[in-house]
Amino acid sequence: MQPLQADYFSAYHNLKVTRDANGVLVAEFHSNGGPFIMSAPAHTEFVDAFYRIAQDRANKIVILTGAGGGFITDVDWSSFGDVTDPGVWSQVHDEGVQVLENIANIRVPVIAAIEGRAHVHSDYALLASVIVAAEGATFEDVAHFAAGVAPGDGVFTTWSYRAGAGRAEAFLLNPQPLPARTAQEWGVVAELVPNGKALSRARELAELYLKAPEVTRRNTRVHFIQPLKERIVREVGYGLSLEGASSAALVKSMQAKSEPVAEKRKSAIKE
C-alpha cells in the first residue's frame, strides 16, 4: 500500500507538523509559534489533523509536543461562543470525542514530550505510549472544576486509567500544579529529563523503537492502547454531555448575578 501524500503538513494554524527521513513525525502545538492556548478553531482543526496523522502509514513514530516551553497552557474561552446554545455545544461535544478517538487510533508508538505547563487537555499527552517530561513540567486541569465546569472531556478517563481513580478524582477536584516528578511516581510520566531536553529524549526513544520491525511496532501500539480506547468510546461522549450541561448552568448563573446590576443601570438611565 502506498503512503498517503503528506499534503496535510501545512494545513493547520495551531499544529506544526514535520517528519524526518526515518518517518518520525513531530506534531507541535503552538499559537503563532509560541506557547499554545486552546481555542475553538484549534479544537476543530485537531480532529482532521490527528485523523490524517493516524491514516498516514508513512508515519513510523509520532511525537506530541508544544512550542515555546509549554505543552497546552491555557484556554481562550471566548472563542467557543455561547455554550448554552445546543448547536454550539453539539460541535464541541462531537469534536471532543473525535479528537481523542483519532489520537487513540494512531497505530504507531506515540511519545509525548512535555515541557512547562500541560494545564489544558493533558489527556492528549496521556494517550501517548510514553511520556517524557522535563523536570520543571507541571500538569494541571485549569479548564474544568476550577472554572466551574464538570471535567467530562476525557481528562478523568485518561488520568484514572494511568494514575488510578482516587488520584484522578483528587487531582481534578482540587486543581493544583502537579510536578512532573509526582506524575512519574504515579506512573503517568515514564522519564524525567533536564529542562529543554524532553523533545531530544523523545527523538532518542523514537530511534530505539525504530529498530523493531514495523508490524511489531504497529501491533504493539494497537495492543497497548486498546483498553484505554475502549474507555474513551464508552465514557467520553457521556462525559462531554455532562460537561455541556454544567457549562450552560455556569453561564446562566453568571448572567443571573449580573442582571441586578444591569437592571439598576437601566433604572438610572430612565431617571
Q: What is the mean pLDDT of residues 128-146?
A: 97
Residue 2 has pLDDT above 80, yes or no: no
The chain-wide mean pLDDT, for the chain, equals 93
Does pTM surpass 0.85? Answer: yes
Q: What is the pLDDT of residue 259?
A: 62
Q: What is the pLDDT of residue 255?
A: 87
Percent of the chain with pLDDT over 70: 93
- Going by C-alpha positions, the residue among 82, 96, 142, 151 that lies closest to residue 117 is 142
End-to-end CA distance of the chain: 77
H-state helical runs in the chain: 40-55, 86-104, 122-126, 155-163, 165-173, 180-185, 198-209, 214-270
Q: How confident is the model at residue 265 (pLDDT cuts 50, 70, 90)?
A: very low
> For the sheet containing 130-134, what is the strand order?
15-19, 24-29, 61-66, 110-114, 130-134, 191-193
SS3 content of the chain, % helix, strand, coil (to 5): 50, 15, 30
Residues in the chain: 271
User: What residue ranges do the domains of the chain occupy?
Assistant: 15-270
Where do we find the cell 483519532?
102
- Going by C-alpha positions, the residue among 3, 238, 57, 246 that lies closest to residue 147 is 246
Q: What is the pLDDT of residue 258?
A: 78
| Class of the domain covering 15-270 | alpha beta
What does the pLDDT look like over 173-210, one tens digit per residue?
998 999 999 999 999 999 999 999 999 999 999 999 99
Where do we find the cell 490524517?
52
Q: What is the pLDDT of residue 260?
A: 58
Please tell me what DSSP assigns to residue 80.
G
What does the pLDDT look like over 210-244, one tens digit per residue?
999 999 999 999 999 999 999 999 999 999 999 99
